Structure 1
């Protein structure tokens, strides 16, 4: 995985979050039936891993567990659709992808494995940071709209204040997301430096610090 892949995943998460329509609530019976179906599919998927061995089996189980986690999160959106439950789907997907990617790293060894794990973690961190930023932005917009409607009945000054507050929240969310992604990418760069030694390693670390603004 590289910076391009991280960026593509980032854009995909943001696009899904911003365009996702509010789902219709399903009934209690449909919700319970959905959970039962997901449980059966999970057990079946894990049973299918039994014929495998070593890391291939671990990867298979991680995939089954991840799919189950995401499916339950998606079911929750259908049952109680909201900004929060849609956010939980993005988080579940990021964690599921990381669990599988981390297991795949076990096929490697030494520094190559360490870099693989750091890169997988960077992708997860990026996805989570973007999901969090998008949720905060959506909440800020909703709050701003509510306050704007209320302010219109009283004074334009309140409308401006509400919009200003929303802008501040969105800016803070973007700043937090950027910091999380920078830290994750810096961790990958440092791990790659461990494959070197002496002056070459020191140079590599100094370049990484300069690139990501670390002291």
Structure 2
């Protein structure tokens, strides 16, 4: 069942991207923007209806995939209609949030520590994607000298590395909870060293 929903998700995202790329070759006016927005809404309705044939967590995953695809398509459309570093960032952020919501929902098929680890891994992936988006936004920021831009990108990378390390540490620490005693302590200490946590 997961294979089918994963395939559906990939196909929907690829279709949305292909549609947007096809229209990006030319400038988008208000009529094209409205038509694309209406198509996104129609696609979401169809994709959500496909989830009705499923049950349990497979249905929940399908619904998250449908909503995520819609949100990403909307953000990509905005980035295309009003190109800027801000709308490009929001599109990357929407993709990170959609991926996180889907991954987190898939964790519901697990239990105990495995579920906790799954959720922390999903969160770490979201943090990584969002921090990478912030670095890309800093790199795309217009109107700066090369020196100012390099300093801004370096600062964004430094902040991103700290956020990513913290999220990855939390995921690694969660894995350690499956252990006990000295093994658990060593596992946590190793994770702290690996991800620069004190």
Q: TM-score range by the shorter chain?
A: 0.7 to 0.9
Alignment of 1:113-128 (within 5 A): 113-128=115-130
> Could you say which residue in structure 2 is the equivalent of 1:181?
164
> Could you say which residue in structure 2 is the equivalent of 1:66?
68
Task: Give the C-alpha shift of residue 164 in structure 1.
Answer: 3.2
- The answer to whether 1:172 aligns with 2:174 is no
The number of aligned residues is 176
Moved more, 178-187 or 59-68: 178-187
CA contact (8 A) 1:24 1:78 kept: no
Task: Give the C-alpha shift of residue 165 in structure 1.
Answer: 2.7
Runs of 4+ in 1 over 6 A off after TM superposition: none
Listed one character per residue, the Cα deviations across residues 122-143 of structure 1 (whole Å, up to 9, x for unaligned) are 111101101111111221xx32
SS, match of residue 48 in structure 1: helix
Alignment of 1:56-95 (within 5 A): 56-95=58-97
TM-score by length of 1: 0.77
CA contact (8 A) 1:23 1:81 kept: no
CA RMSD of aligned residues (A): 1.7
SS, match of residue 52 in structure 1: coil
Task: Give the C-alpha shift of residue 24 in structure 1.
Answer: 4.8
Task: Give the C-alpha shift of residue 25 in structure 1.
Answer: 3.6
Task: Give the C-alpha shift of residue 23 in structure 1.
Answer: 6.6
CA contact (8 A) 2:28 2:81 kept: yes
SS, match of residue 143 in structure 1: coil
Flag structure 2 segments of 5+ consecutive residues without an equivalent.
1-20
Task: Give the C-alpha shift of residue 198 in structure 1.
Answer: 1.6
* Partners of 1:163 and 1:76 in 2: CA distance: 28
Flag structure 1 segments of 5+ consecutive residues without an equivalent.
1-19, 145-161
CA contact (8 A) 2:166 2:197 kept: no
Greater gyration radius? 1
CA contact (8 A) 2:138 2:149 kept: no
> Could you say which residue in structure 2 is the equivalent of 1:137?
139
> Could you say which residue in structure 2 is the equivalent of 1:26?
28
* Partners of 2:88 and 2:56 in 1: CA distance: 35
Match of 1:48 among 42, 47, 50: 50
* Partners of 1:29 and 1:76 in 2: CA distance: 14
Match of 1:212 among 168, 183, 195: 195
CA contact (8 A) 1:50 1:57 kept: yes
SS, match of residue 84 in structure 1: helix
CA contact (8 A) 2:165 2:196 kept: no
Task: Give the C-alpha shift of residue 78 in structure 1.
Answer: 2.2
